[in-house]
Structure formats: structure tokens, C-alpha cells
Amino acid sequence: MPTMGYLHEGHLSLLRRARREADLVVVSTFVNPLQFGCGEDFKRYPRDLPTDARLASREGCDVLFVPSPRDMYPFGYRTRVTVEGLDSVLCGRFRPGHFSGVVTVVLKLVNIVRPDALLLGQKDAQQAIIVKRMLEDLNAGVKVLVCRTVREKDGLAMSSRNIYLSPDERRRAAGISRSLFLARDLVRKGERRASVIRTRMKKVLAGAGITDIDYVEILDGSELVPLRRLEGEVLIAVAARVGRTRLIDNVKLRV
């Protein structure tokens, strides 16, 4: 179970799933410099290793792996992994190089730990899709388990970056999940036009005071190709800034 630490209930739900699935559970906590771009929050990303260790132990983690950047990227390190096409849409458009950093570190962790299964959260849907494709393409022999998004009582997806939000920003941030739940309800009632659903979602976001939007997209759930009409496995995804904090969320549907 790869993480960047600062564990919250979303991480712990993954750990519990791992405990049910496996004889031995390894959790890594590593704030990976390769997936942060210039001006992003690498230096201020929240870290609390003592609490992470306590929570991981409480939930049955057998090994907590805490490498340093020098351990993972020693002097002279030159190699990067990319997953072409899937890494250039959604968050990839706004964070160039991010997913190359993600899949590079995941492949290194897999090669170090040699797991049978890797657990990821649905909140990071694009990441999960890209990691799964990379492991399949490179014959890693690792099963990927994607677990449901864990949410706060008001629907906000749990994230380590939620700590950045002021009380007012925290209240407004719930508009992201409300827009996604509206989209889900529209689909359940029979709406299939992506343009109509996106327009309604943007109204919900605007009503919550969320105007700094990177994307509101409706795509094929495995190839990440934009859809005009919803059919098959569908990913509805949002990325927006609330204050200075960039938040992502999504719902996945079978239409």
C-alpha cells in the first residue's frame, strides 16, 4: 500500500482491506519529489511519521517502509517511466511530469517489496488507471485493488491536503462532491448527454463559490477518452482550487 504519509481514514480503510486480503501488509510512506512540479507543495506537504506509525500499527500493518529521497533516487539516478496518452489528460494537462513521477516510484516500490497486490484509492482515479496499465504493460504480476473513496460527513473526499483549507474554504469545498452527486443522480434518472451534465455540475460549483476550475470532465472509465454521450464504464471527474488548495474528486458509473 503506497502512500505519501499523513495517514487519514481513507488510508486506514485501505489498510483494513489489505489486512483482510493478505498474510503480510507493507505500507510505504514517501513524499515523492518526482511527482511535484515547480511551485507545488513538496516542501510544505504535511508529514507526521510518529502518528503514521501509530495508526499503521493499530490497523495491523506488518512493515512500515519509510525510505528517504536518497534511498529511492541515489546520486546518478536517471530513469523515468511514462504511460503515454493516459498521462496527458485530466490532471496530466495541468501537472506535466506528475504521473511519470508517480509510476516511476510505484514501479520502484513494487520491485523493492515484491507484493502480490497493490491497494489504491478511487479518489485518485486517474492515478489508479495509469498505475494499473503500467503494471499490466510491464508484466509486473501484481494485482491492483482499487477501493472506494472515503468521505467526510458532508461528502468531501478525504485528502491529506484538506488540512490546508480554512473553515470557510472547507465549507465551500463540499461543493465539489455535491456537483458529482448531482451528476450521478442525473445519470440514474436517464440523462446521457455529457454537455448537459457538465453544465449542471458547473452551476453547483459556482453556487459554492468555486470558480478556479481546472476541469469538469466525463470520460471513458478505462481509456480516459472524453464522451459526448454516456455509455459503458464512465468516469466523471473534477479538479478545482479552493483558496490555494487544489482538490480532485470523481465518481465512476456503469451506464
Q: What residues does each domain of the chain span?
A: 2-147, 160-254
Q: What is the pLDDT of residue 206?
A: 98
Q: Which CATH superfamily is domain 2-147 in?
A: HUPs (3.40.50.620)
Q: What is the pLDDT of residue 107?
A: 98
Residue pLDDT, tens place only, 74-99: 999 999 999 999 999 999 999 999 99
Q: What is the pLDDT of residue 137?
A: 98
Q: What is the pLDDT of residue 92?
A: 97
Cα R_g (the chain), whole angstroms:
18
Q: What is the pLDDT of residue 60?
A: 95
For domain 160-254, the question of CATH label 3.40.605.10 is answered with no
Q: CA 253, CA 255: separation in Å to the nearest integer? A: 6
Q: What is the pLDDT of residue 127?
A: 98
Model confidence, pTM: 0.96
Among 6, 11, 56, 234, the one annotated catalytic = 11
Q: What is the pLDDT of residue 232?
A: 97
Q: What is the pLDDT of residue 93?
A: 97
- Residue 26 · residue 115 · CB < 8 Å: yes
- Grid cell, residue 104, equals 516511476
Below-70 pLDDT ranges, the chain: none
98 flagged as catalytic: no
Alpha helices in 114-250 (DSSP H): 125-137, 167-188, 194-207
